[in-house]
């Protein structure tokens, strides 16, 4: 437990400051555009409400970790805009992702397209409003990022890293939504591994002068950790407690999401039969969902995903041993790894 305390303490320090700064960013945006009326305030209000509705702010904390490991010597106030920018970028992805997956719930409340569809009394306008709300949030993320007081050369490096995160995640989403499921490893690497762990770490490191050796060591740590994080999310999306996930039990199964869990489960004929009326059917009765989840577990798919998480975690743990990291840095990264992967189902 002692090894986890440095990162836990950092999260506790960063999170309230990020919450405050995010609220101020949305207040400024609201003052800037609210007088244009409901066609503007409806999507802005829904996006703001989602962005400020909880969230662990792990990505923001990882920016701070990257800055610390690179010896940036900056205070939280100096890199707070970067922390807020990654959280706004995350909110933008959630808004669009929920619409594409037709998820009605997020963080224990309505997704943006669902809230707007009800408010505007039109699913089509709700969807259009969600797309625009996501676009606005992405633009706001860039504006906030540029509020960091950095020398021109360093600002260009930070902006380049930030756009790389965004491009990776968009390409990963394209593979996920439009692909045939054959490139699941690339989806996990680009859609989650890159922008959830590697991107924030390298964004924070860009505040300093990271050596090539440090950047390579961070990548060796971050990519497997990010994929393990997504696989843990997949298990939570199937077996998680709604009070913890903010979504119905079996939500990923009901949505028909292509995950490693389902990829393995569907190799079993018994599991395919149990999933026949549930997979991709949001209206499936709860008792059918429970039977499907039992069949998934019995097929060995859940255990297979747990083994893969353990393998990836071991890869990240080996990367932590790199000589470029000090003992304090190793303790910090082990805390990161625990926070990403040790989330019970």
Residues 6+ apart with CB under 8 A from 46: 112, 115, 116, 119, 129, 130, 133
Q: DSSP for 236-291?
A: HHHH--HHHHSS-TTHHHHHT---HHHHHHTTSHHHHHHHTTTTT-TT--HHHHHH
CATH of residue 268's domain is 1.10.600.10
Q: pTM here?
A: 0.91
Same domain, 132 and 246: no
Domain boundary among 108, 136, 151: 151
- Percent helix, strand, coil in the chain, to 5, is 75, 0, 20
> Do 215 and 129 fall into the same domain?
no
At 78 the pLDDT is 86
Which stretches in the chain have pLDDT values below 50? 1-4
In a domain, 162, yes or no: no
- The answer as to whether 115 is a domain residue is yes
User: Is residue 61, in this structure, part of any structural domain at all?
Assistant: yes
191: Cα within 13 Å, side-chain hemisphere: 19
Tokens 């018994």 correspond to 270
Say yes or no: 259 and 344 in one domain.
yes
Domain-embedded: residue 168: no
CA 243 from centroid of its chain's CA atoms = 19
Report how many domains make up the chain.
2
Q: Same domain for 120 and 8?
A: yes
pLDDT of residue 191: 86
The residue behind tokens 């707070």 is: 80
Tens of pLDDT, residues 176-204: 889 887 889 899 999 888 889 999 999 99
The parent domain of residue 301 ranges over: 211-345
Domain membership of residue 206 (yes or no) is no
Q: Quick check: helix, strand or coil at residue 71?
A: coil
Indicate if 124 and 242 belong to the same structural domain. no
User: In this predicted structure, what is the pLDDT of residue 1?
Assistant: 34
DSSP letters of 99-147?
HHHT--EETTEE-HHHHHHHHHT-HHHHHHHHHHHHHHHHHHHHHHHTT
Q: What pLDDT score was predicted for residue 344?
A: 64
pLDDT at 2: 37
CB within 8 A of 172, min separation 6: which ones? 186, 187, 188, 189, 190, 191, 192, 194
Q: Is there a single domain that holds both residue 217 and residue 145? A: no
Of the chain, the percentage scoring pLDDT greater than 90 comes to 71
Question: Is 173 among the domain residues?
Answer: no
Q: CB count, 10 Å around CB of 224?
A: 25
Residues 231 and 316 in one domain: yes
């Amino acid at each position: 437990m002692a090894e986890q305390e440095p990162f836990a303490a950092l999260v506790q320090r960063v999170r309230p400051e990020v919450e405050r700064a995010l609220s101020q960013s949305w207040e400024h945006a609201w003052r800037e555009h609210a007088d244009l009326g409901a066609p503007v305030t409806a999507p802005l209000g829904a996006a703001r409400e989602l962005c400020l509705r909880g969230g662990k702010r792990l990505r923001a904390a990882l920016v701070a970790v990257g800055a610390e490991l690179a010896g940036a010597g900056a205070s939280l106030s100096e890199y707070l805009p970067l922390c807020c920018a990654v959280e706004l970028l995350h909110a933008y992805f959630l808004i669009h992702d929920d619409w594409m997956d037709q998820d009605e719930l997020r963080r224990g409340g309505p997704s943006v397209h669902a809230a707007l569809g009800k408010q505007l009394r039109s699913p089509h306008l709700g969807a259009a409003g969600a797309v625009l709300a996501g676009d606005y949030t992405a633009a706001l993320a860039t504006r906030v990022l540029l509020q960091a007081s950095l020398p021109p050369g360093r600002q260009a490096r930070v902006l380049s890293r930030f756009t790389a995160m965004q491009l990776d995640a968009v390409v990963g989403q394209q593979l996920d939504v439009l692909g045939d499921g054959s490139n699941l490893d690339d989806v996990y690497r680009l859609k989650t591994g890159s922008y959830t762990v590697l991107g924030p770490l390298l964004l924070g490191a860009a505040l300093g002068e990271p050596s090539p050796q440090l950047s390579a060591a961070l990548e060796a740590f971050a990519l497997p950790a990010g994929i393990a994080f997504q696989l843990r999310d997949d298990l939570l999306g199937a077996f998680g407690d709604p009070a913890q996930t903010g979504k119905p039990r079996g939500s990923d199964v009901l949505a028909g999401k292509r995950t490693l869990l389902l990829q393995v489960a569907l190799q079993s004929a018994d599991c395919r039969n149990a999933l026949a009326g549930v997979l991709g059917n949001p209206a499936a009765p709860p008792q059918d969902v429970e039977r499907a989840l039992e069949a998934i577990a019995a097929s060995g798919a859940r255990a297979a995903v747990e083994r893969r998480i353990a393998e990836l975690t071991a890869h990240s743990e080996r990367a932590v041993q790199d000589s470029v990291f000090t003992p304090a840095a190793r303790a910090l990264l082990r805390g990161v790894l625990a926070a990403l992967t040790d989330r019970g189902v």
